[in-house]
Amino acid sequence: MTTELDLTLTRRVAASPATVYRCWTEPELLKQFFAPKPGRTVDAKLDVRPGGAFYTKMVFEEYGEIESEGCYLIVEPAKRLVFTDCLSADFRPSAQPFFTADLNFIETEEGCEYNVIARHASAESVKRHEEMGFHEGWGTVARQMAEIAEAIERG
């Protein structure tokens, strides 16, 4: 279920839900698509279990380094991955809460429907996320992710 406090994005990928899930949970795969190019993801530590922490560091020529930290909430292989920056390792409250990402990997005839819901506390947070470029950023990342997942399945 979504509300006006959510931003959403959907993309069809010609790869199985299991492969798309792998792209999100294996650091060496995540690093290949997580930053919109020409940005680069130079570090990724993913403790993929409820209460486990994630850490990523991206580098952009125009912005410098951007680090992201958070906590996994729901871990359902090949199906769903939910994480939030409102919490850190062991579900500890974080200093800079902003949004929860609810990623769903739905099996289709062609492969997978990849569905992102970004949940926010307020209309102000939604607006800020839109202004930060949610649709372009997550859209580019979804395209880059699809390329990796499809290349894996082509072997």
Least CB distance to a second copy at residue 54 (A): 15
Residues that bind a second copy (CB under 8 A): 1, 5, 50-51, 73-74, 82, 84, 86-87, 90-95, 97-100, 102, 119-122, 125
Identify whether the C-beta of residue 84 lies closer than 8 Å to the C-beta of residue 102: no
List Cβ neighbours of 95 (8 Å cut-off, separation of 6 or more).
none
Measured from the CB atom, is 9 or 59 closer to a second copy? 9
Least CB distance to a second copy at residue 11 (A): 22
Neighbours of 122 (CB within 10 A): 9
Measured from the CB atom, is 8 or 140 closer to a second copy? 8
| Burial (0-12, 13-18, 19+ Cβ within 10 Å), 155 | exposed
Least CB distance to a second copy at residue 32 (A): 27
Measured from the CB atom, is 96 or 109 closer to a second copy? 96
Least CB distance to a second copy at residue 123 (A): 12
* Strand ranges inside 4-144, DSSP E: 6-13, 40-46, 53-60, 64-76, 80-84, 100-107, 112-119
Measured from the CB atom, is 59 or 101 closer to a second copy? 101
